[in-house]
Amino acid sequence: MNGTPQPGAANTIGAKINFKAKNPRISAAILAEIALALGVTTAQIALPAGLESPDRGVVCNRQRAVCYDRYGASIDLTEAFLGQIAARRLTASSLNSRAENQPETPFSPADGVECVRKSGPCRLQGEPHAALTAALYAPEPLPIGQTSEMRAIMYGEWNWQRTCYKDNTEAIPSEPGHFVLRFQTDGFLRAQVDCNSAGGTYVFEKSRITVKLTNSTLMSCQPGSLEGVFQQDLAAVTAYSMKSGRLLLALENDGGIMEFDRPPIAAMVGP
């Protein structure tokens, strides 16, 4: 398959989506054919504006600060991919909402988009949308050795909040947004180290991680900067975990824990 849609493919896909909508008990396997019929993978097909798919079966709308699965807005997924603040906001709005959460009722992950809860499909401006339907209802399997926790770590940016050392001391940056990590999906690392930009690599191995900064600009930061502390702690990282939407990086020899959180997101529109 060469990745070029075959003649009539769009009509065939639309027919399958319409058929699925009228027959919700049909296996989700038919939805996988949507992307395959176009000759491309789900990741290669554009989602509607404002939506990203950071993990299988998940789409996030960063402008709304909400993540969704096939059942609609998800507090747990929002916490994992967008952070505690976004999750708390969604929790509060859910408590005040009277929206239906029954199977086969629609939800809207983006403007002009409507998805049928649990069974699919998704439509954009009333027309079947193959990529979004496949992303939510027939996601591709994760690469071998990769977990959903790893996918959450690789999505978006992480601001350093503090390092707690085993001697009960702490290093706390006055500006967490000046110490930022972004784990790219290709194994490269982008970082802001106070007034400098840096790059490097990282490697996951089950629950362990190795982080290396290999290059950096050489600006002189303000007196009292924690630039050196941050770099030293990163070099000592040996393991990772996530808790309540935060990234925790453990230092070697039980030396301490680096804590990271998502940058605050100002939601512009409700879920």
| Residues of the chain falling short of pLDDT 70 | 1-45, 96-103, 267-271
Question: DSSP for 3-66?
Answer: SPPPTTHHHHHHHHHHHHHH-TTS-THHHHHHHHHTTS-GGGSPPSTT-EEEETTEEEETTTTE
Task: Classify burial at 191, counting beta carbons within 10 Å of its beta carbon; exposed 0-12, middle 13-18, buried 19 or more.
Answer: buried
- Residue-level pLDDT at 268: 60
CB-CB neighbours of 117 under 10 Å = 17
- pLDDT given at position 101: 59
CATH 2.40.128.270 residue window(s) in the chain: 148-261
Q: Look at residue 233 and give its three-state secondary structure.
A: helix
Q: How far is Cα of residue 217 from the mean position of the Cα atoms in its chain? A: 28
Q: What is the DSSP letter of 212?
A: E
**What CATH number is given for 148-261 in this structure?**
2.40.128.270
- Alpha-carbon gap, residue 113 to 125, rounded angstroms: 6
Q: Where are the beta strands (DSSP E) in 33-157?
A: 52-55, 58-61, 66-69, 72-73, 106-107, 113-116, 122-124, 127-128
> Which tokens belong to 58?
């998940």
Cα–Cα distance, 140 to 155 (Å, whole number): 17
Residue written as tokens 């050795």?
145
The whole-model pTM stands at: 0.80
Q: Are 181 and 158 in contact (CB under 8 A)?
A: yes
In angstroms, the CA 71 to CA 111 distance is 18
Question: What pLDDT, on a 0 to 100 scale, did the predictor assign at position 100?
Answer: 53
